[in-house]
Amino acid sequence: MAEVKKLTQTQLFKELAAACGISNKQAKAVVEKFVEIAIRETKKVGVSVLPGIGRLKKIDRKARLGRNPATGATIKIPAKKVVKLTLSKALKESIVPPKKK
């Protein structure tokens, strides 16, 4: 099985720059600003929509009881805040098409 090369940040910026007719620096600035806006909105509002990708949500998890897998002892897991990314239906279906019935 041949090793698949991952797309690097530099390759992403070059591809965006070529597609939009802008410099690599400008493409990098656009991506960085997009990420900055998503972070700001998620912090402020609790949700941020990433068009064509999905939604970032800030979620409060309640405290709960868990189990230490090594010892089997019951432990308390404290409440915490987490961020979830929910992919859009169109994105999911374009990567993994639904099974036909």
Taking only the tens place, the pLDDT of each residue in 6-38 is 999 999 999 999 999 999 999 999 999 999 999
At residue 101, does pLDDT exceed 90? no
The model's pTM is 0.75
DSSP letters, 15-47, are HHHHHHT--HHHHHHHHHHHHHHHHHHHHHHSE
- How far is 96 from 101, CA to CA, in rounded Å? 15
pLDDT per residue over 54-71, tens digit each? Answer: 999 999 999 999 999 999
Q: Is the pLDDT of residue 47 over 80?
A: yes
Query: pLDDT confidence of 100, banded at 50, 70, 90?
Result: confident
